[in-house]
Structure 1
Amino acid sequence: MRRARDHIDRCYADPIDLAGIAAAAGYSRFHLVRAFRAAYGETPGRYLTRRRVERAQELLRVADLSVTEICHLVGFSSLGSFSSLFTELVGVPPSQFQRAAHASGPPLIPGCYILMCAGPRPAAKTATTEKLDPPGGP
């Protein structure tokens, strides 16, 4: 279970799914969900969401980025889903959380530095890239 949790902690911003988490931990998807819940009290999906929201809270506190930029940096693809999950877990919408955090002064980290350090996301394999990367590697 630690391998599954470590994989989520390491790759929370990437588009990961239950099959990928299970493969990293060496479990079947169904067994992983049962064992993860028994060990940590929540499903891997819920843990991933909570981890992403925790990271978003930190970025909302210290970075000069929009809520939309932070939403995408922490791995959400939908601003609406991000906002509703953030509100459910934190108790206030992300924009309100950010305004309250920035009320005491300017953000500590310019957004351009965070975006620069985040680097490009690995592209998903498409039919075009699969043709460019034959089996067995370049």
Structure 2
Amino acid sequence: MTTAAEDSNRRLLRARDAIDAHYAEPLDVPTLARIALVSPAHFIRSFRAAFGETPYRYLQRRRVERAMFLLRTGDRSVTDVCMEVGFSSLGTFSRVFRDVVGEPPSAYRRRGPLPPVPTCFAMAWARPATDRAVSEKRSPDPAP
């Protein structure tokens, strides 16, 4: 017999799996909340409590992780990579990529392919940190 908390966690995992599988598609909170069978506001709170970040931030990070792989292994332009991973604006992609990775996509690409090491080490080394601040919304500059 499962508890209510286990059911809730299972539904949140289903929504997170949907983000992982469909990161390049337009996803919004109401759609993900329907997958988790909760209201959008409750979904955001529950997702943050369970995974340590909002669904939107998780989606952005997953998109950046995929972009990192494409930039290091392919010869597509930054714009093509941006569109392929689900961003609709090159400016937003560049800002989010820089916030997550610490450098712009073009600088990241110039470092070239990953060194020949076991895949688990390469993935751990290349994975963006979850503790970097990625703003959910662009805040105006503070007044002087």
What TM-score comes out, normalization by structure 1 length? 0.72
Pair 1:16 & 2:30 matched? no
Structure 2: gaps (5+ residues): 1-11, 116-144
79 and 38 in structure 1: CA distance in 2 versus 1, 3 angstrom threshold: same
Select which of 42, 66, 71 maps to 2:77: 66
Aligned length: 104
Aligned residue in 1 for 2:66? 55
> Moved runs in structure 1, 4+ residues, more than 2 A?
none
Q: CA deviation at 1:29?
A: 0.4
Residues of 2 paired with 1:72 and 1:50: CA distance? 15
Aligned residue in 2 for 1:82? 93
Pair 1:34 & 2:80 matched? no
What TM-score comes out, normalization by structure 2 length? 0.69
Aligned residue in 1 for 2:102? 91
Residues of 1 paired with 2:34 and 2:24: CA distance? 18
Q: CA deviation at 1:34?
A: 0.5
Residues of 2 paired with 1:63 and 1:20: CA distance? 32
Percent of pairs identical after alignment? Answer: 55
Structure having greater relative contact order (Cα 8 Å, sep ≥ 6) = 1
Query: Is contact 2:72–2:114 with CA below 8 Å preserved after alignment?
Result: no
Q: CA deviation at 1:20?
A: 1.0
Instruction: Name the Cα RMSD after superposition.
Output: 1.4
Secondary structure (helix, strand or coil) at the match of 1:42 reads coil
Residues of 1 paired with 2:35 and 2:77: CA distance? 33
103 and 2 in structure 1: CA distance in 2 versus 1, 3 angstrom threshold: closer
Residues of 2 paired with 1:41 and 1:90: CA distance? 18
Q: CA deviation at 1:46?
A: 0.4
